[in-house]
Amino acid sequence: RILGRHHDDKRPTGFEYKGVRFGQDTLNVFAGLCAVDNPTHVEQMMKALADNGQVCTRMGAYKPRTNPYSFQGHGASCLPWVFDLAGKYGIRVIAMEITHDSHLDEIRHALEQTGSPTGVMLQIGTRNTQNFELLKIVGRQSEFPVLLKRGFGITLEESLNAAEYIASEGNRNVIFGLRGMKTNMGDPHRNFVDFAHVPVVKRLTRMPVCIDPSHSVGSRDRGPDGLLDVQQVTAQGIIAGANMVLVDFHPEPKKALVDGPQALLLRELPYFLEDIAIARDAY
């Protein structure tokens, strides 16, 4: 495998994009909106990130939904103002899911049109992990790095092969995302949290590994010790060696159009970042 690692492989891992370094030895936080809803919320989010020294975010414009009647994302229409606001607040990289090759052109066009200095990390979601034609398309371009989420109902090996589809077409700037697995055992969480696989993926491949505590846990509920589940599993993932955290925040979770119950509040951002720094020290 191009992305594979041998036990004595000492080559440096990862890549740099928009002045941000991604590797198996770095840690980047992508806090942001699961779905872009309106300019006010996007601006509040970006301002909170800038106030807390953050240069990366997540912003969903194209939302693959289980229910066809649920909000599907604003699509191309929101891209110009999202990129303008990102530029205004010094956001350098936005993780944004795409589900079709036409989205790639729409993103390129909006970046060109706005002249925003911000960059995009293309996210391939768990429902498209084995959409091989889409994987080949993002693999054939080298302009944007790719965050590939593991498939929630396939083996780890199959998901690693999906990453290899991207690399085999030429794009080696791939980050592997863990986002929980589906089980039929009625777990307390939305998905079975799979962050024990962080060191496994780092041992088997040269990819930086991302965790998505929000989609793994599915709710921001406080446990009996007063800590948020999302925060606790984030710490577990960081201690296991995660290199990137993709996490949902929202200025008003009750008004969020997608996944509000799992979004953390903006006032929790500094504490969330502090917890991450403590967990990182423990790694």
User: By the criterion CB under 6 A, which residues form the site for ligand PEP?
Assistant: 34, 60, 97, 125-127, 149, 179, 212, 215
User: Could you tell me if 247 and 220 are in contact, meaning their C-beta atoms sit under 8 angstroms apart?
Assistant: no
Q: How far is the CB of 179 from ligand PEP (least distance, A)?
A: 4
One-character DSSP codes across 81-148: HHHHHHHHTT--EEEEE--SHHHHHHHHHHHHHHT---EEEEEE-GGGTT-HHHHHHHHH--SS-EEE
The residue of the chain with the least Cβ separation from ligand PEP equals 125
User: Could you tell me if 43 and 49 are in contact, meaning their C-beta atoms sit under 8 angstroms apart?
Assistant: no
User: Could you tell me if 95 and 246 are in contact, meaning their C-beta atoms sit under 8 angstroms apart?
Assistant: yes
DSSP assigned state of 4: B
Q: How far is the CB of 6 from ligand PEP (least distance, A)?
A: 29
Place of tokens 């794009």: 171
Q: CA-based Rg of the chain, rounded to a whole angstrom?
A: 17
User: Could you tell me if 198 and 242 are in contact, meaning their C-beta atoms sit under 8 angstroms apart?
Assistant: yes
Q: How far is the CB of 273 from ligand PEP (least distance, A)?
A: 20
Residue 57, SS3 per DSSP: strand
Q: How far is the CB of 97 from ligand PEP (least distance, A)?
A: 6
Residue 257, SS3 per DSSP: coil
Q: How far is the CB of 214 from ligand PEP (least distance, A)?
A: 8
Amino acid code (one letter) for 74: H
Please say which residue, 99 or 114, places its beta carbon nearer to ligand PEP: 99
* Nearest C-alpha neighbor of 234 from the set 253, 251, 220: 220
Q: How far is the CB of 93 from ligand PEP (least distance, A)?
A: 15
Please say which residue, 25 or 54, places its beta carbon nearer to ligand PEP: 54
Residue 218, SS3 per DSSP: coil
In the structure encoding, which two tokens stand for residue 65, read together? Answer: 């939904």
Q: How far is the CB of 177 from ligand PEP (least distance, A)?
A: 7
Residue 59, SS3 per DSSP: strand
Place of tokens 């969330």: 272
Q: How far is the CB of 206 from ligand PEP (least distance, A)?
A: 22
